[in-house]
């Protein structure tokens, strides 16, 4: 059976490619989506890839993943550090959630050390650039096979 994985991206990740390239690299979100589709296909996963700027929109997509997918890869971006609503959405679903970040927030500004998701997700992968997504897909595929 093909497993369904949703990959959700939060605010400002629409600007990947030109946004702070020294921190986030030069790959655009559309290119990252293409890479994720290729990595997922090689792992036998069916993938849906989305990005939203708004907190409520992200919450709705987390609910949808909980209803429709077997696993969720979530880069909540700045909401990682601020949003009780995103945290509560994660705890409202039962599928495994992998938190991803391109950068390693803990090694940046002090306010990024607050993480409202790390203790409610299945696992987290941070700091590998776009490879964070590849590693998350590989880890989630293994977890779903498990």
User: Does 102 contact ligand DQA by CB under 6 A?
Assistant: yes
* Residue from 24, 63, 122, 133 carrying the catalytic annotation: 24
Q: Is 27 exposed, middle or buried (0-12, 13-18, 19+ CB in 10 A)?
A: middle
Count of beta carbons in the 10 Å neighbourhood of residue 62: 24
Which residue, 46 or 123, is less far from ligand DQA as judged by CB?
A: 123
Q: What is residue 105's DSSP assignment?
A: G
Both tokens of 142, joined, read 């293994």
Phi, psi of 114 (to 5 degrees): -75, 120
- The verdict on whether 79 is a catalytic residue reads no
Residue with tokens 């990005």: 51
Per-residue x/- track, 52-81, ligand DQA (CB under 6 A) = -----------------------x-xx-x-
The Cα–Cα gap between 16 and 20 comes to 8
Minimum separation from the CB atom of position 1 to ligand DQA (A):
31
In what side-by-side order are the strands of the sheet with 97-101?
Answer: 45-51, 3-9, 71-75, 97-101, 123-126
- The verdict on whether 101 is a catalytic residue reads yes
Identify which range of 26-34, 37-45, 90-98, 101-109 contacts ligand DQA by CB under 6 A: 101-109
Q: How many residues at the interface with ligand DQA, by CB under 6 A?
A: 10
* Residue from 6, 79, 101, 133 carrying the catalytic annotation: 101
Query: What residues are labeled active site?
Result: 24, 101
Q: Which residues bind ligand DQA (CB under 6 A)?
A: 12, 75, 77-78, 80, 101-103, 105, 112
């Amino acid at each position: 059976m093909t497993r369904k994985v949703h990959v959700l991206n939060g605010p400002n990740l629409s600007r990947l490619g030109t946004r702070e390239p020294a921190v986030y690299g030069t790959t655009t979100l559309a290119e990252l989506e293409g890479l994720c589709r290729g990595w997922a296909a090689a792992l036998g996963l069916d993938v849906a890839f989305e990005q939203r700027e708004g907190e409520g929109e992200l919450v709705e997509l987390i609910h949808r993943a909980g209803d429709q997918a077997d696993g969720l890869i979530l880069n909540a971006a700045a909401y990682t550090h601020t949003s009780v609503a995103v945290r509560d959405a994660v705890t409202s679903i039962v599928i495994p959630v992998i938190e991803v970040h391109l950068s390693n927030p803990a090694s940046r500004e002090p306010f990024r050390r607050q993480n409202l998701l790390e203790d409610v997700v299945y696992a987290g992968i941070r700091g590998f650039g776009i490879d964070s997504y590849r590693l998350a897909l590989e880890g989630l595929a293994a977890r779903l096979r498990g």
